[in-house]
Structure 1
């Protein structure tokens, strides 16, 4: 086994979670290998809140748009514009954004490798041996490589192969299948604004999630998602483009992938493997937001991994999930209930958009989104929202 390179940590997957974990561990002085397939961009709206920009020191140069309004569109085509007061939501293109995160990890000392993960084996001493198929920048090669790792962080996305091989109960996740088309942004003639995100709640475009039109500067992301495997995402996206006046825009690329909407019940194997990001299932229900939670989870994975590497106590790996759920589990629970109820029929979607007209709902929702914390300093606003929600649930409020 001595001829294999040995690392404190091998991070599998170079998206926001993996790149962040690799950066934090390398910055702490650990030897890190960051393995990524590259060349594949995840379908993603690309929204990042101010909390992420601040906490992870994201430069302005990576922002391709600044969103100052969110438009909610009901099945009846009723529209509710929600201004983002006192700030903005940043938009990034995942290709350049993810590469910048990987390069930052390399600048901190992480070794980058291009290739596809295959398996985790065990040496005679019990240390993990990560086997992968190496590839060059052109995607050619396929040479088998083995490296030793005291810790393996699986950040290889939804349907994680690391999770499947190593982590018990990894088959208990739930998913939305997302698809979007990147188009050249329209210059005129469409109801489109470069500073506004449109979120479309309509069973025609998704029976259980939503459709979106998100500006990306010179381009725009138009897409939808659904857990219904029989629902045609491509046809729904074509219909959404037509309804939004964007059918004639040049299509630059198409992307699709499953997106998890439920944190896995376990993130570690009790030995030397820890999950992060989509591999752990940390995408917010209802909204589908994942970049912030991936990077937050990647940082926690690095902190817990550092403790594991220092102590050798595998029990500390359990802290990653506990810490994440303590910070965000309540929000995920509430959003999950909201998605299951409000997204279940067009009648309920209509009422949901109607609720979004309420000033209290708008303020508390965006404060929570922007800062990633439940807003507790306005108790009367919460009380008012509770009674308004009850009125809508009972059909006593006007749509």
Structure 2
């Protein structure tokens, strides 16, 4: 048996790639390690729901407000106009995507990727079967590496794959309390406070019956569990039952190259496609899976390995500017609590709120209000230069 494409990793990126390829009539394998759940706030914008045909049964909460909380405890509520942000639970959502890919025709395999071997007969993925513990060797024409931020496929096959910068994310899924003065089941809280994370942020995201409470940091040795315990105490959630705890690396920027020029292309976290500043990954992972599948189909049709580079080209063509702006915002405002205070104050501005969420919901920068862009640019410079004091009125 020889596969057209062997997908390593069954998260949103790998499952999307396998689903697209199977629906295109390709013989595809989807290899995943059972039981791993990635720490994730679980937010997906309306565009993801539409582009990837996500059923409402997977949406465990509909968020209508985002609350930004500053180091001094000041809060800015940002209403989400004309829509909502959908929340998913990764334990159920990822499995739904894998099942959908299998129903489309992908061969679902459970085990651990070991290595890629090549000989006169072609390319082979060597993996360990979880059920038997035996090594298996699967022949394939192409490989898609969608195995996370510390991708073994990327490390072994793609230049720069061993040097991806990342933050460590940790969260606890808790039993959600009834709505109260601290917790709103229709609101996401984003906490910019150096006591929780000195270089990223903390969050409280409702998941219907549950909630995700966590934080991220790039600092080695940070006590993630203590920071999350402090966040729970700060948010009135200390006494809530803990359902599970999860931690994992989240990449900070897209890799400069996503393929090896031969038979491997990367997707999702393995390619570094998590949005700077926000850490949003589900939508971009699924887009990464889709463009990897598109590139694989092009390479299979042409017989030219250079077509694998199409994955990165397609992704960056649409999302490069958004990623650059978000990176600039993170570099400018996440350096200190004084800067975070100014950032939350800036978020009080109605133009910032509207443009931010229009961009988030539609996944592109909004050019329809040039005057608003000018005003925001001026306010941004005033805050960064310290010429104005943070204001919440």
TM-score, structure 2 length as denominator? 0.98
Which residue number in structure 2 is paired with residue 385 of structure 1? 376
- Secondary structure at the residue paired with 2:381? helix
Q: Paired residues, what number?
A: 390
Which residue number in structure 2 is paired with residue 349 of structure 1? 340
CA gap 1:77/1:148 in 2 versus in 1, 3 angstroms: same
Which residue number in structure 1 is paired with residue 138 of structure 2? 147
Equivalent-residue separation in structure 1 for 2:104 and 2:180 (angstroms): 47
Query: Unaligned regions of 5+ residues in structure 1, if any?
Result: none
- Secondary structure at the residue paired with 2:99? helix
Which residue number in structure 1 is paired with residue 314 of structure 2? 323
Asked if structure 1 preserves the Cα contact closer than 8 Å seen for 2:332 and 2:384, the reply is no
Task: Tell me the CA shift for residue 187 of structure 1.
Answer: 2.1
TM-score, structure 1 length as denominator? 0.97
Aligned with 1:208 (options 191, 199, 202): 199
Which residue number in structure 2 is paired with residue 130 of structure 1? 125
Task: Tell me the CA shift for residue 397 of structure 1.
Answer: 2.0
- Secondary structure at the residue paired with 1:296? helix
What is the Cα-based RMSD across aligned positions, in Å? 0.9
Task: Tell me the CA shift for residue 170 of structure 1.
Answer: 1.1
Task: Tell me the CA shift for residue 377 of structure 1.
Answer: 1.1
Deviation per CA, 1:261-293: give whole Å up to 9, x if none.
Answer: 111111101100000000000000100000000
Task: Tell me the CA shift for residue 190 of structure 1.
Answer: 5.0
Asked if structure 2 preserves the Cα contact closer than 8 Å seen for 1:172 and 1:264, the reply is no
Aligned with 1:368 (options 359, 364, 369): 359
Equivalent-residue separation in structure 2 for 1:313 and 1:62 (angstroms): 38
Asked if structure 2 preserves the Cα contact closer than 8 Å seen for 1:153 and 1:301, the reply is yes
Equivalent-residue separation in structure 2 for 1:28 and 1:370 (angstroms): 28
Is 2:56 the partner of 1:39?
no
Which residue number in structure 1 is paired with residue 277 of structure 2? 286
Which residue number in structure 2 is paired with residue 177 of structure 1? 168
Is 2:80 the partner of 1:84?
yes
Task: Tell me the CA shift for residue 143 of structure 1.
Answer: 1.3
Which residue number in structure 1 is paired with residue 60 of structure 2? 64
Query: Unaligned regions of 5+ residues in structure 2, if any?
Result: none
Task: Tell me the CA shift for residue 189 of structure 1.
Answer: 5.0
Task: Tell me the CA shift for residue 325 of structure 1.
Answer: 1.1
Runs of 4+, deviation exceeding 6 Å: none
